[in-house]
Amino acid sequence: MTKTIAILVARLIFGGAFLMATTFKFAGMEATAQYIASIGFPFPLFFAWVAALFELGLALALFTGAFFSEAAALAAVYVLFLAFAFHGPSRWEANQMEFGFFVDHFTFIAGLLFAAVHGPGEKLALGWRVRWTPLGLQRA
């Protein structure tokens, strides 16, 4: 029972983090676009929408357990990208706190990788997965 509770709490934390990020993006899409533009990305409003929708999908997968391991692995790659793009070495000279933000991402990545390997647990999880077949990707 303790394991089940811990897994469910972890799923709520992971899903909640991405849902909160999504909410902030939808509430301030222009501000998100400006932040994306500040690192030199083209089409910042487009990428703000892509990020918001992607994070919403991650939140849903992490909450429900559907495609959980795949979503956790994708989330880890995404968080790694965010660490380097928004808080990487080029930002440390101007603001030393950026290094702390950068390092914090790796704690989140470690948890996501652990979750990707161990899955959503057996309780309250849809458990849908993707598997490779000769015909391409199929839901398992």
pLDDT band at 130 (very low <50, low <70, confident <90, very high): low
Q: Report strand pairing: 136-139 vs 130-133.
A: antiparallel
pTM for the full model? 0.85
pLDDT band at 138 (very low <50, low <70, confident <90, very high): low
Taking only the tens place, the pLDDT of each residue in 57-106 is 999 999 998 899 999 999 999 999 999 999 999 888 888 899 999 999 99
pLDDT of 131: 64
Whether the predicted pLDDT of 56 surpasses 90? yes
The Cα 42–Cα 86 span in angstroms is 14
Torsion of Cα atoms, 80 then 85 then 90 then 93, to 10° = -80
- Residue 23 tokens read as 């909410």
Q: Residues of the chain with pLDDT > 90: what percent? A: 70
The alpha-helical segments, DSSP class H, found in the chain are 2-27, 29-38, 44-64, 68-87, 89-92, 97-118
- Residue matched to tokens 């490779």: 132
Residue from 125, 109, 113 nearest 7 by CA: 125
Q: What is the mean pLDDT of residues 103-121?
A: 94
Q: What are the residue boundaries of the structural domains of the chain, listed by start? A: 2-139
> 92 with 99: CB under 8 angstroms?
yes
